[in-house]
Chains A and B, each alone.
Chain A
Amino acid sequence: MSNMRSLTFDAIIIGGGGSGLRAALELAKSGKKTAVLSKVFPTRSHTVSAQGGITCAIASADPNDDWRWHMYDTVKGGDYIADQDAAEYMCSEGPKAVFELEHMGLPFSRFDNGRIYQRPFGGQSKNFGEGGQAARTCAAADRTGHALLHTLYQNNLKNNTTFLNEWYAVDLVKNANGDVVGCIAMDIESGEVVHVKSKATVLATGGSGRIYASTTNALINTGDGIGMALRAGFPMQDMEMWQFHPTGIYGAGTLVTEGCRGEGGYLINKDGERFMERYAPNAKDLAGRDVVARSMVMEILEGRGCGENGDHVYLKLDHLGEEVLGKRLPGIVELSKTFAHVDPAKEPIPVVPTCHYMMGGVPTNVHGQAIMQDGEGNDQIVNGLYAVGEAACVSVHGANRLGGNSLLDLVVFGRAAGMFIESALNEGVDYLAASESDVASAMKRITRWNESESGETVPELKRELQDTMQNAFGVFRQEENMQEGVKKLAELRERIAHAYLPDKSNAFNTARVEALELDNLMEVAEATAIAALERKESRGAHSRYDYPDRDDANWLKHSLYFPAEKRLGKRDVNFAPKTVDMFEPKVRTY
């Protein structure tokens, strides 16, 4: 270990997507010694793929819009296990964060009066569900994520943020007290492994959709932060909650934004029927994503699916006309032509519910501080560890995220974590340094791969893992199937522990990165599987045939997965917002 180089920062941010860059911007402005460590050049992060927009009550489309209505929608959308203090913080701070983005140069689309364009999205209402559909999603055409990520990167350049681009974080380093004091990271270009010491380590590593065979997620979404935290022994929250986006392009899995339906598109079955009118008479195609995804699967299972195998439905857009499509949804037109071989101005797009978003993650408070439980089940802050964005579970999304809330989550909590870390650093942070054996234990995994001499290789194991998740933990779940899935995963874990990395070279060895990613996929998959098996109810995105109803008596709770014992515990949901009355759980209809 003694010959390993070390780098020292006040704060290290792992991940260069929206949340990481927003946190970094705050810290760069503060003058703290900060670096963003990202396995891809920051603008290649998955935030770039976000299309429809960022939902926020900026009162542009409707001058009377109110963040409390947005908060209501968020809590209801999350099937009442979103923490209400966190939803309150996000929705009330949101406008400030969105205006900041505009001031930084984000090229939002505009209304005639010059204000930011807002479009309707699923699950949005006025007046606490009483005032009809709202239009609350601020958009830059259908490339909002791209515009947002580039704007944040540009402003980090402006503020001279330090970037460690194409560096891969391998594992967290904990000291003898269990505080997180940095990480082990690899410079991908040279293969050099470095000990990064830091007073604050921020996981901004995004989601992990690649645990499923079919996903809208980028190939890099392998849950690296979740894997690192689980290996370090920290609990994960609500990992059973995976959002299946109603409109992934059939076959390719690429996303078609909910904004299509916001602009007036709708889903049809093989008879040409607009079937959402039956499942959600009021909101129709703009019901919550979980509701729409389930309705689509019902249509398919009942024999009304489209295509030769009747295994998808159609998204109809042609009635919107070429002008609206060209102006508001140009990226969708491109993607449909490339991946579905259809021109949406003429034909409907074949779509199917596709894994899209991880509502669960590292439990945190609104400052991004990671939380674990002490022996009595009380919340306890993890010193030195923070999480933001999709990797975190604050939780604002509960059991089902609303469209457009992810981008808001990124900037609001990225900013909040940055501000909090700055003040924490100002007050002084002093953790015990990591010992040689602490560092050695964080090196264990990469050493294991480097010394592997034979065994199965990564691509095959990855495929089996993804197929297992796809088959047993999809839109609808069921005890027996899941039990088998859990068993299969246990077996896979054993095989992965003995898998083989043939290429041991140093320079830009992507095979090594993929091997390390496979370990993380394994961690996320197992946490998901065990949480899904144990939550014996249906809530939000978690739907079980064998427990079709919501069970508030037992499960109006976060689930908390403890990796050491592979045990699922519970954690209270926050029902105490600071400035408004709490929203009582009600039956959720759209």
Chain B
Amino acid sequence: MSTLQVSLYRYNPETDSAPYMEEFQVDTQGRDLMVLDVLHLVKEQDNGLAYRRSCREGVCGSDGMNMNGKNGLACITPLSEVVKNNKLTLRPLPGLPVIRDLVVDMGLFYKQYERIQPYLQNDTPAPAIERLQSPEDRDKLDGLYECILCACCSTSCPSFWWNPDKFVGPAGLLQAYRFLADSRDEATRERLEGLEDPFSVFRCRGIMNCVAVCPKGLNPTRAIGKIREMLLANAT
């Protein structure tokens, strides 16, 4: 049989007093669809299902969700990778308020991103051409700038669950290091001063859920370690 059992987290604030799980049968015709394709099929059965999606190729970061217990992007997760016993359970990203169904309020996540001043700071007057950067210095940004802000990492991080208002979280810290590591950025000292409190960086306990779920294969834990090294070097 090619009928997949899909269990979906449902919540519509206008009609439901509490969230609940709803079961759907989806005919996959035996194909190894992506989870996002399955959602499209469910939406044809129930027009009211809400989820975010855009690029459908894993670069826009819209469709982060919890699939059979693990965060990831629905559009690049094939059923063969997550489905066990013909059953797929889909829930919103954990730890953030749910707006409707699989749509979460990303406000806190974005706030933490904005807090690390995610933009290049350089007050030296720019040359008439580009600022030069050696390939070696540019290589230091690899594994950092590729973040798509899908929030899979931060919402799988227990430290972020407990302190989403104070702990920057893996995604924000990865970007904090992306600018600390940029040879063109001049605000290193100010950036570090903004991070040395007990929460912003130091709530990371090295659980490494972030590394396990990142759909782009990035390593926020390593970046956090580098930030700690820089803080230490700066303060001792």
Contacts and interface: CB of A to CB of B under 8 A. Distances in A.
Establish whether A and B are touching in the complex (CB under 8 Å). yes
Contacts of A457: 47
A115 B130 CA distance: 7
Interface stretch (B11-19, B157-165, B195-203): B11-19
Interface stretch (B2-10, B20-28, B49-57, B218-226): B49-57
A158 B55 contact: no
Interface string A488-515: 0000000000000111011111110000
B129 A58 contact: yes
B120 interface: yes
Contact of A157 (B55, B99, B114, B145): B114
Interface string A46-76: 1011000000001000000000000000000
B134 interface: yes
Nearest to B101: A508
Given A46-B55, A338-B76, A103 B61 contact: no
B17 to A, nearest CB: 14
B133 A218 contact: no
B100 interface: yes
Interface residues of A, number: 61
| Interface size, B (range) | 35 or more
A116 interface: yes
Contacts of B212: none
Interface string A98-123: 11001111011111111110000000
Contacts of B58: 334-335, 338
B131 interface: yes
Contact of B138 (A49, A105, A107, A155): A107
Contact of B128 (A99, A104, A111): A99
B130 A507 contact: no
B119 A105 contact: yes
Contacts of B193: none
A507 B98 CA distance: 11
A189 interface: yes
Contacts of B52: 40, 44
A141 B144 CA distance: 13
B53 A219 contact: yes
A452 to B, nearest CB: 12
A339 interface: yes
Given A105-B184, A107-B138, A147 B145 contact: yes
A61 to B, nearest CB: 13
Nearest to A146: B59
B99 A48 contact: no
Nearest to A40: B54
A110 B182 contact: no
Interface string A187-227: 00100000000000000000000000000001110000000
A111 B132 CA distance: 10
Interface in B38-91: 43-44, 47-62, 76, 78
A339 B51 CA distance: 22
B54 A511 contact: no
B14 A506 contact: yes
Given A103-B131, A154-B118, A505 B14 contact: yes
A58 B130 contact: yes
A335 B73 CA distance: 14
A48 B103 contact: no
B62 A44 contact: yes
Contacts of A468: none
Contacts of A110: 133-135, 137-138
Contact of A108 (B55, B118, B130): B130
Contacts of B60: 40, 43-46, 48-49, 218
Contacts of B141: 107
Interface string A19-59: 00000000000000000000011011110110000000010
A233 interface: no
Contacts of B78: 338
B149 interface: yes
A157 B76 contact: no
Given A44-B60, A507-B12, A146 B119 contact: no
A509 B50 contact: yes
Contacts of A140: 145
Contacts of B43: 459, 511
Contacts of A219: 53-56
Interface string A287-308: 0000000000000000000000
B48 A146 contact: no
A116 B130 contact: yes
A150 interface: yes
Interface string B103-126: 100100010001001111010001
Contacts of B142: 141
Given A43-B148, A510-B50, A48 B14 contact: no
Contacts of B100: 507-508
Nearest to B185: A105
A115, A146, A331: residue with the most chain B Cβ atoms closer than 10 Å: A146
Contacts of B229: none
A104 B137 CA distance: 17
Given A108-B130, A115-B130, A219-B53, A155 B47 contact: no
B117 to A, nearest CB: 8
Given A58-B129, A115-B130, A104 B76 contact: no
A520 interface: no
Given A112-B135, A338-B58, A146 B129 contact: no
A150 B145 contact: yes
Interface string B150-176: 000000000000000000000000000
B129 A99 contact: yes
Contact of A218 (B55, B118, B145, B146): B55
A459 B106 contact: no
Contacts of B48: 502-503, 505, 509, 511
Interface in A166-186: none
B31 to A, nearest CB: 10
B130 A511 contact: no
B47 A44 contact: no
A338 B131 CA distance: 36
Interface string A215-244: 000111000000000000000000000000
Nearest to A338: B76
Contact of A105 (B61, B149, B182): B182
19 contacts: A43-B60, A43-B61, A43-B149, A44-B60, A49-B55, A49-B60, A108-B130, A109-B135, A141-B142, A154-B120, A254-B56, A255-B57, A458-B47, A459-B44, A507-B12, A508-B103, A509-B50, A510-B49, A511-B43
Interface of B: 12-15, 43-44, 47-62, 76, 78, 99-101, 103, 106, 110, 114, 117-120, 122, 126, 128-135, 137-138, 141-142, 145-146, 148-149, 179, 182, 184-185
Given A115-B130, A459-B44, A510-B50, 16 more contacts: A41-B110, A44-B61, A49-B55, A49-B59, A58-B129, A104-B120, A105-B119, A105-B184, A140-B145, A143-B59, A154-B118, A158-B119, A254-B56, A254-B57, A510-B51, A511-B43
Q: Which 8 pairs, one residue from A and one from B, show the smallest C-beta to C-beta distance?
A: A105-B120, A114-B132, A102-B130, A154-B119, A503-B48, A44-B60, A508-B100, A158-B119
